[in-house]
Amino acid sequence: MKIHKEGWGFLAILLLILLAIQALVIYALRLPENYVYAIGGACLLLFLFFLQFFRQPKRSIELNDHHILAPADGKVVVIETTEEHEYFRGQERIQVSIFMSPLNVHVNRNPVTGLIKYFKYHPGKYLVAWHPKSSSENERTTLVYEIHKNIEIMVRQVAGFAARRIKCYIEAEQSVIQGKEFGFIKFGSRVDLYLPLHAIVKVESGQKTIGGKTVIAELPQEESKKN
């Protein structure tokens, strides 16, 4: 299993702390053997929990210029038509939001191939990720992809109550490929998609998604081929 680069430092420090605790239990406190085993088991489970959090599975991505793929593993929690004010200036868009629990893979992937037309980081609050105001008030980054002329979609990484570190590896005017990693969010979070109104949503509320694999929406083929 490959471990994401964001986890290397954290896991090394955690391992040292857990080993120190175990040494303290055995050599300083001299607790009975059953306590040593119990605490050791708890430390092992804690380490394995964080180890699986930073896993980075290898995935084969099927490129398709009229599919909008899931940017994250998780569960669809919002599908609605809403006004988007940061970039689209109050225009109506289809919002699809994916909640990422601590048990999900937290790698974020480009939903489409295109050009990054807009990037902005916003410091903010740490409301729970499913809170209605989390998309506009929490710490977040906003990316806008231009797929073809006049066809744009937005992706927003949103920090949650426990997710207090958003990483984004791309910037404005950069060309990107569908399914490639663009970021990582630590410890539970949310990713919002804002799609054109003519996009055909292919998922349902409550459905589980796999980043780079699940088709979130489809653009009519005659639209996706426009230049």
The residues assigned a catalytic role are 189
What's the CA gap between 68 and 205, in Å, rounded? 17
Residues 6+ apart with CB under 8 A from 20: none
- DSSP codes of every residue in 143-176: EEEEEETTEEEEEEEEE-SS---EEE---TT-EE
Question: 33-53 and 8-23 are packed helices; what angle lies between their axes, rounded to 10 degrees?
Answer: 180
Instruction: Give the amino acid at 59.
Output: R
Residue 200 region, left (φ>0) first, then alpha (ψ -120 to 50), else beta?
Answer: beta
What's the CA gap between 145 and 172, in Å, rounded? 9
φ and ψ of 220, to 5 deg = -50, 135
Count how many Cα atoms sit within 13 Å of the Cα of residue 190 in the half-sphere of its side chain: 28
Count how many Cα atoms sit within 13 Å of the Cα of residue 147 in the half-sphere of its side chain: 25
Among 3, 29, 1, CA closest to 14: 3
